[in-house]
Each structure stands twice: as structure tokens, then as C-alpha cells.
Amino acid sequence: MDADLQDMSREQLIVEVLKLRQGIRAHRDSTGHDLCWHHPALWALLPEKVEPRIAVPEWQHFMRGCIRYRESLDEQAPDAPRTQEPFRG
């Protein structure tokens, strides 16, 4: 799957690493309501272009997952600032 890396020059590999790091940092630096979204731009950094085949949970199960994710933020980032900003989609 990653055989293309074998044919890249050192300079091309550096460009690829920098591109991937930029994508990872953009994902890492997501905050607020952006934490709730999947990130197809991150997936697009991979050389293979495939249509993601996601399964979308029914609302009841999905919302339970959202609540659990938010609870995990309390556990993993208890000192992170809280915001009252509403979602503006």
C-alpha cells in the first residue's frame, strides 16, 4: 500500500512528511464544536483515493457516543477551558 514511498527522493519524502504533519496538527488543534466532526481532509492526505465507507449510528446511539466523548474530555482534559459558544452550523 505504501510502495510509493520507496520511489521518492529524500526531498519528496520531506515534503510528504511536512504535509502529513500539517494535517495531523490541524486535526490535533481542533477545538470547540470542531471536535465533533469527522475529518475527511485528514484522510485525503493519504495517496490512495477511496470514498470512506462510514457507518452512521442511529440517533439514539450516536448521541450516547457524543455524550461519552464529552465525558472523556472531562476525564482527559479536566483543566481545559470551557466555552458557552453555541454551535453555528
Q: What confidence tens digit (pLDDT) does each residue in 10-57 have?
A: 999 999 999 999 999 998 998 888 888 888 888 899 998 888 788 999
Going by C-alpha positions, the residue among 79, 13, 74 that lies closest to residue 5 is: 13
Q: What is the per-residue pLDDT for 89?
A: 76
pTM over 0.85: no
Give the per-residue pLDDT at 62. Answer: 92
Judge whether 28 and 39 are in contact, CB under 8 Å. no
Per-residue model confidence (pLDDT) at position 70: 93
Contact (CB, 8 A) for 44 and 22: no
pLDDT at position 84 over 80:
yes
- 67 close to 60: Cβ distance less than 8 angstroms: no
pLDDT confidence of residue 33: 83
Decide: 34 and 87 in contact? Cβ < 8 Å: no
Ranges assigned E (strand) in 1-89: none
